């Protein structure tokens, strides 16, 4: 387990050497101190750590990893621990509790944690997600579970205490000197990799588009 945990550190060292940035100060913090964290199954955590280090290369990075066995609230576990420890000026997250979808009580717990972080002076960033305006969990219900295809956004995106960050793209227009034109409203649009079904009959939620929609 220790060797697998070191993979993130190794990748970060490769990244800092490639782009000649200062050596990273990274601490991996498990939500359960008795359960060592394993290497994540995808590359996104490493990518997040690499670019957090790039933005603030002399700032220590603390990577909170959910390690509580069989937890259905992994994202909330890491958020609440980062807030309760109150050692990070900025908290950035790109995961959510989607399996199963959270109920109203869990969403309220998220809101309380978000508010507490802001009161403490922490800044919260959260990914807009990959499901466009149709987040799989739909509108919050009294019990966990997906609730259809009505327009909705991920729960943390609805909080006024959180800054939501989503991927965008644009087709640059160059002048005769090779400079791109100034961005104007409508020039930039959401990242989208799949073709949406025409309204008013939307398809089931499908990954492939920057998140956004009715809060």
Mean predicted confidence (pLDDT) in 162-181: 80
Q: How many CA atoms lie within 13 A of 141 on its CB side?
A: 12
Q: In the structure, what pLDDT confidence band is assigned to residue 178 with cuts at 50, 70 and 90? A: confident
Most confidently predicted of 106-110, 111-115, 169-173, 184-188: 111-115
pLDDT(38) > 80: no
CB 100 within 8 A of CB 158: no
**pLDDT of 197:** 59
> pTM for the complete prediction?
0.79
Give the integer Cα–Cα distance in Å for 46 and 10. 10
Q: In the structure, what pLDDT confidence band is assigned to residue 29 with cuts at 50, 70 and 90? A: very high
Most confidently predicted of 14-28, 92-106, 157-171: 14-28
**pLDDT of 168:** 79
Q: In the structure, what pLDDT confidence band is assigned to residue 156 with cuts at 50, 70 and 90? A: confident
The 3-class SS string of the chain reads: CHHHHHHHHHHHHHHHHHHCCCCCCEEEEECCCCCCCCCCCCCHHHHHHHHHHHHCCCCCEEEEECCCCCCCCHHHHHHHHHHHHCCCCEEEECCCCCCCCCCHHHHHHHHHHHHHHHHCCCEEEEECCCECCECCCCCCCCCCCCCCCCCECCHHHHCCCEEEECCEECCCCECCCCCECCCCCCCCEECECCCCCCCCCCCCCCCCECCCCCC
**pLDDT of 59:** 93
On average, the pLDDT of the chain sits at 80
Instruction: Compute and round to an integer the Cα radius of gyration of the chain.
Output: 19
pLDDT(145) > 70: no
Q: In the structure, what pLDDT confidence band is assigned to residue 2 with cuts at 50, 70 and 90? A: very low
**pLDDT of 4:** 42
Tell me: the pLDDT tens digits for 188-207?
777 877 666 555 555 556 77
């Amino acid at each position: 387990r220790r060797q697998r945990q070191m993979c993130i550190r190794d990748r970060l060292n490769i990244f800092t050497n490639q782009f000649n940035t200062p050596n990273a100060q990274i601490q991996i913090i498990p939500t359960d101190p008795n359960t060592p964290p394993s290497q994540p199954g995808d590359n996104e955590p490493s990518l997040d750590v690499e670019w957090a280090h790039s933005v603030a290369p002399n700032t220590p990075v603390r990577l909170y990893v959910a390690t509580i066995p069989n937890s259905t609230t992994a994202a909330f576990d890491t958020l609440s621990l980062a807030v309760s420890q109150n050692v990070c000026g900025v908290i950035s997250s790109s995961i959510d509790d989607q399996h199963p979808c959270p109920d109203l009580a869990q969403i309220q717990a998220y809101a309380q944690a978000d508010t507490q972080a802001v009161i403490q002076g922490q800044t919260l960033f959260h990914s807009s997600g990959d499901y466009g305006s149709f987040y799989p969990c739909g509108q919050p219900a009294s019990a966990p579970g997906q609730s259809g295809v009505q327009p909705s956004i991920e729960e943390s995106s609805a909080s006024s205490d959180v800054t939501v960050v989503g991927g965008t793209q644009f087709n640059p227009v160059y002048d005769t000197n090779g400079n791109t034109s100034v961005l104007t409203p409508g020039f930039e649009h959401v990242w989208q990799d799949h073709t949406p079904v025409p309204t008013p009959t939307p398809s089931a939620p499908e990954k492939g588009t920057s998140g956004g929609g009715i809060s």
